[in-house]
Amino acid sequence: MTDLRFGPRLMARLDQLGRISSDSDRLTRLPFTPAHRQALEQVRAWMHEAGMITRVDVIGNLIGRYEGDDPDAPALLIGSHIDSVVAAGRYDGPLGILSGIDAVHALHQQGDRLPFPIDVVAFCDEEGVRFTTTFLGSRAICGTLDPAVFEVRDRDGTSLADALRAFGGDPDRLGEAAYSQGSIRGFLEVHIEQGPVLEAEDRAVGIVTAIQGQSRMVVCLDGMAGHAGTVPMGHRRDALAGAAEMILFVERRCAAVPELVGTVGRIDAQPGAVNVIPGRVLFTVDLRAPNDLIRGQAASEVVQGIQRIAASRGLACSIGREHDQRAMACAPRLQRWLAQALRAEGLPVKYLASGAGHDAMAMAECCPAAMLFVRCKSGISHNPLESITVEDADVAVRVLLRVLRDLIPPEASS
């Protein structure tokens, strides 16, 4: 067994962070909740141990700065998201934050500095589970977040603006979260693959080439609630039966096109009683494709199909286009940094694309961005069964540290 300099502590910290949840029996850590605050304070303590100074920006991103020789030089950002989905795994997000802290910690222990600052970032909300829009923290840092998102409400009717204020943030000062033009030299994100490729090829890590684009919609249908026993089938305006027809339409339309995927992940039927015809239904649609034209065409046809089915059933229908993120190519130069580090660590260089979305695709709107994927068991993610090995965790930190050390000019490291 190779000397695991980083893996054991990293895995212990991931376990510890994975226990910070709003739910007692599973990991759910939605943004601007007490669990988010508790996790943020724990990560902040680890950042301080690693020699960083920390701040929380106006949208709830935690940022740990490891100063460089020139404090005014454009910073290298490393990180991922601290929020999770519901009933999540413990590695999706935190692996990218904690591996960044560990790499900086190793520099700090040697007293090594890069010519420029390193900012490790725990983004406040990447999943977009509580408020259907996503990449809140990374978009705010890039200055690309549309303030209209602050009106979006969660299931309890709380607006994003109110949730953020209650958390100590300030939507009215959104602009202060944005890094100034040219002040970010690049962004690196370590993340579990959430797919089967690395495991199938027995690779611990891989370099991401591109991230497919994604569209999200929220569909609201209004029919007529009624007595399940007395309303003849031909007289009904059943919102849930209509949604069922629409969901199968989405499935068929996406299955017909290679590389296009479509998911209805959430549905709420009101009033939700066994003997009441559902009068109102809300459901979400998530469309992804590597090609933005294919995704755009699918989104238009899904909207038309839903509207056609609603009309045929006498249902009122509103469709909110909550989120559109174009596909993103990872920066070649940063991919080369990662490839050089892999070779220096004696590891094979493997490239692969990402089906999942990541903060890196939002960060790519304002700086060169790249990702290092880490193998995860059976590709399982967004599931408590998500798992990685201590050896692969160790590799991730070693590769990241190698990238950082390679950025120290030879004369400085002598």
Q: Which residues bind ligand HGY (CB under 6 A)?
A: 126-127, 356-357
Whichever of 267 and 390 has its CB closer to ligand HGY, that residue is 267
Q: Write the DSSP symbol of residue 326.
A: -
Look at residue 174 and give the partner it binds from ligand HGY, Mn ion, none, a contact being a CB closer than 5 to 8 Å depending on partner kind.
none
Whichever of 127 and 322 has its CB closer to ligand HGY, that residue is 127
> In the complex, what is the shortest distance from the CB of residue 232 to ligand HGY, in angstroms, rounded to a whole number?
42
Q: How many CB atoms lie within 10 A of CB 193?
A: 25
DSSP codes of every residue in 60-77? S-EEEEE--SSTTSPEEE
Q: Is 125 in the site for Mn ion (CB under 5 A)?
A: no
Q: Look-up: residue for tokens 């680890």?
A: 46
Q: Tell me the β-bridge partners of 46.
A: none
Whichever of 59 and 129 has its CB closer to Mn ion, that residue is 129
> In the complex, what is the shortest distance from the CB of residue 85 to ligand HGY, in angstroms, rounded to a whole number?
7
> In the complex, what is the shortest distance from the CB of residue 385 to ligand HGY, in angstroms, rounded to a whole number?
16
Whichever of 216 and 402 has its CB closer to ligand HGY, that residue is 216
Q: Do residues 68 and 113 make contact, with C-beta atoms less than 8 angstroms apart? A: yes
> In the complex, what is the shortest distance from the CB of residue 127 to ligand HGY, in angstroms, rounded to a whole number?
5
* Residue 215 three-state SS: strand
Tell me how many residues contact Mn ion (CB under 5 A).
Answer: 2
> In the complex, what is the shortest distance from the CB of residue 157 to ligand HGY, in angstroms, rounded to a whole number?
24
* Residue 355 three-state SS: coil
Look at residue 57 and give the partner it binds from Mn ion, ligand HGY, none, a contact being a CB closer than 5 to 8 Å depending on partner kind.
none
Whichever of 65 and 216 has its CB closer to ligand HGY, that residue is 216
Q: What string marks each residue from 33 to 72 as x (binds Mn ion by CB under 5 A) or -?
A: ----------------------------------------
Look at residue 357 and give the partner it binds from ligand HGY, Mn ion, none, a contact being a CB closer than 5 to 8 Å depending on partner kind.
ligand HGY
What six digits make up the tokens of 262? 């479509």
Q: Is 359 in the site for Mn ion (CB under 5 A)?
A: no
Instruction: Determine how β-strand 205-211 pairs with β-strand 369-374.
Output: antiparallel
Whichever of 281 and 353 has its CB closer to Mn ion, that residue is 353
Whichever of 23 and 49 has its CB closer to Mn ion, that residue is 23
| Angular region, 18: left φ>0, alpha ψ -120 to 50, beta rest | alpha
DSSP codes of every residue in 266-318? -EEEES--TTEE--EEEEEEEEEESSHHHHHHHHHHHHHHHHHHHHHTT-EEE
Whichever of 206 and 357 has its CB closer to ligand HGY, that residue is 357
> In the complex, what is the shortest distance from the CB of residue 354 to ligand HGY, in angstroms, rounded to a whole number?
8
> In the complex, what is the shortest distance from the CB of residue 59 to ligand HGY, in angstroms, rounded to a whole number?
17
Whichever of 57 and 127 has its CB closer to ligand HGY, that residue is 127
Scan residues 69-108 and list those touching Mn ion (CB under 5 A).
Answer: 92-93
Contacts of 293 (CB under 8 A, 6+ apart): none
> In the complex, what is the shortest distance from the CB of residue 275 to ligand HGY, in angstroms, rounded to a whole number?
36
Contacts of 58 (CB under 8 A, 6+ apart): 140, 169, 170, 171, 173, 174, 176, 177
Whichever of 127 and 386 has its CB closer to ligand HGY, that residue is 127
Report which of 84, 36, 83, 43 is spatially closest to residue 63, judged by C-alpha positions. Answer: 43
User: Helix (H) and strand (E) counts for the chain?
Assistant: 12, 16
Contacts of 29 (CB under 8 A, 6+ apart): 20, 21, 22, 35, 36, 39, 82, 83, 84, 88
Look at residue 400 and give the partner it binds from ligand HGY, Mn ion, none, a contact being a CB closer than 5 to 8 Å depending on partner kind.
none
Q: How many CB atoms lie within 10 A of CB 173?
A: 11
Q: Counting beta carbons within 10 angstroms of the beta carbon of residue 96, is it exposed (0 to 12), middle (13 to 18) or buried (19 or more)? A: buried
> In the complex, what is the shortest distance from the CB of residue 360 to Mn ion, in angstroms, rounded to a whole number?
10
Look at residue 101 and give the partner it binds from Mn ion, ligand HGY, none, a contact being a CB closer than 5 to 8 Å depending on partner kind.
none
> In the complex, what is the shortest distance from the CB of residue 211 to ligand HGY, in angstroms, rounded to a whole number?
9
Q: Counting beta carbons within 10 angstroms of the beta carbon of residue 390, is it exposed (0 to 12), middle (13 to 18) or buried (19 or more)? A: middle
Residues that bind Mn ion (CB under 5 A): 92-93
